[in-house]
Homo-oligomer: A and B are copies of this chain.
Amino acid sequence: MAHYPEVTMPTFAECADRERMRFQDELFDFLRIPSISTLPDHQPDIARAADYAKQQLAQAGLESVEIIQGSGHPLVYGEWLGAAGKPTILFYGHYDVQPVDPIDEWISPPFEPTVRDGQVYARGASDDKGQVLANIKALEALRQAHGQLPVNVKFLIEGEEEVGGEAVSDFVASNPARLAADAALVSDTAMYLPETPTICTGLRGLVYTEWIAKGTAHDLHSGLYGGVAPNAVFGLVEMLASCKDASGRVLIPGFYDDVEVPSEAERLSWDRIPFDEDAYRRDEVGAATLTGEPGYSVFERVGSRPTFEVHGISGGFTGPGAKTVIPAAAAAKVSARLVPSQDPLAILRIMQDFAAENAPPGIEIDVQLIHRAPATLAATDHPMIRTASDALRDTWGRETVFIRSGGSIPVVGDFQEHLGIPTVLMGYGLPDDALHAPNEKFSLRNFHMGIASTGRFLELLGERAAG
């Protein structure tokens, strides 16, 4: 047997490590693009962010990379299907970000990524640019290490996640063959604790609405008409207050009818996760007290119980000083987080009925749908979930924990419904990343460990498919 001099290929980890600073620089470039999807002024930034994502997919070696223009913000798609006989993973992420208000609470500008204590501060750092880029960079490093990928990959990135746009949903529904895969992988959630690899098995659904109240034909002088004229702001206040009792229980009839109780096993697993409620209240929520339905743990209240939340309210005079007006109109953004098996449209209907039947005298309240998504739940014994859990354990050196997230990722419901595949929610965020809030950040360690984790998952998946 001839002995050839050994040709040493760098490992995946060596490739990722060598490119560490470049990967980080490219993340910062991505974060500098203010791709706020809800504000029409940022349309050109949306286009720039889509271009940047496309370029990143191409650089990672994906093929057929394209920008797909539809009704809303563009989708970005690429694929690599050279691993015959191996599974196919459909990656998903989003390049759009939340608005930045209140802007004056940011310590550094939201679109100038700034590193403090190993965290990069920028809007979208954790949600979702840092996480989606970690996955792209995992593919890039795998290609560098092996010249190819260990499994087949499809990669879909959208630009309307933060506004509940329909583009990605329509695309998934109308392209089931093109998107066919064995599982989806989404990194848009958080680890339960630092250094604690986490898979999220459940997501809450959402029905997001606007409640519009109308009272008098026009604004009136509160001196001349105060005492007889219905006040649209106060009417909306009364209406909203009547939707929950003082303990936080939702009073809209039928709201809890279809709520599924988590299994005993799942509830017991939550009890085993270390949790310091007082530190959580103080450091993470930042409140004098936690609130919510009595008789349910924090895990249950944010994971397996539905909510009714008012995100914003406006009406009447709110400038400096005083204006003595009885306002004729008011509006509030209101959502309910949903759990299995609540139907978003059924919840919308009972909200509308409740508002119609209980609006205060002289006030009309119209409840309009903005967007919706069903709750999803994955089985922890699914082979894909087990492989992901093993890959995380290998990378972080600790057992993976399974939690439910209170958040909503509507596309996970679309993958389930139209492609018939489960989604592995393998997130690299941290609980204090300040999503949707001032001073959003992402741990740079988690960025690099995320690259390593996703790379390990794909390698392990390739190995197991071969064996």
On chain B, the residues within 8 Å of A193 by CB distance are none
- Asked whether any CB of chain B lies closer than 8 Å to the CB of A105, the reply is yes
Q: How far apart sit A436 and B324, CA to CA, in the bound complex (Å)?
A: 7
Contacts of A223 in B (CB 8 A): 204, 206, 337, 405-408
Q: Are B226 and A302 in contact (CB under 8 A)?
A: yes
> How distant is the Cα of A43 from the Cα of B305 in the complex, in angstroms?
53
Is the C-beta of A290 less than 8 angstroms from some C-beta in chain B?
Answer: yes
Contact yes or no, A311 B302, CB < 8 A: no
The residue that A293 contacts in the complex, of B227, B370, B371, with Cβ under 8 A, is: B227
Q: Which residues of B contact A325 (CB under 8 A)?
A: 311-312, 436-437
**CB contact under 8 A between A314 and B313, given known A241-B238, A285-B228, A290-B228:** yes
For residue A163, which residues in chain B have a CB less than 8 angstroms away from its CB?
321-322
Which positions 168-220 of chain A face chain B at CB distance < 8 Å?
Answer: 190, 204, 206, 208, 215-220
- Which size bracket describes the interface of A in this complex? 35 or more
Do B241 and A323 touch across chains, with their CB atoms under 8 A apart?
no
Question: Which of A237, A319, A327 has the most chain B CB atoms inside 10 A of its CB?
Answer: A237
Which residues of chain A from 397 to 420 have a CB within 8 Å of any chain B CB?
Answer: 405-408
In order of increasing CB-CB distance, the 4 nearest A-B pairs are A217-B286, A223-B407, A312-B316, A241-B241
Give me 27 A-to-B residue pairs in the complex whose CB atoms sit less than 8 angstroms apart, sorted by A's number.
A37-B321, A102-B219, A163-B321, A163-B322, A164-B321, A164-B322, A206-B223, A219-B436, A220-B437, A222-B311, A222-B337, A224-B431, A226-B307, A229-B287, A230-B287, A230-B288, A234-B240, A238-B241, A238-B246, A241-B242, A309-B326, A310-B316, A311-B325, A312-B316, A313-B330, A324-B408, A324-B436
Chain A residues with CB under 8 Å of chain B are: 37-40, 98-99, 101-102, 105, 162-164, 190, 204, 206, 208, 215-231, 233-234, 237-238, 240-242, 244, 246, 248, 285-293, 298, 301-302, 305, 307, 309-328, 330-333, 335, 337, 360-362, 364, 370-371, 405-408, 431, 434-439
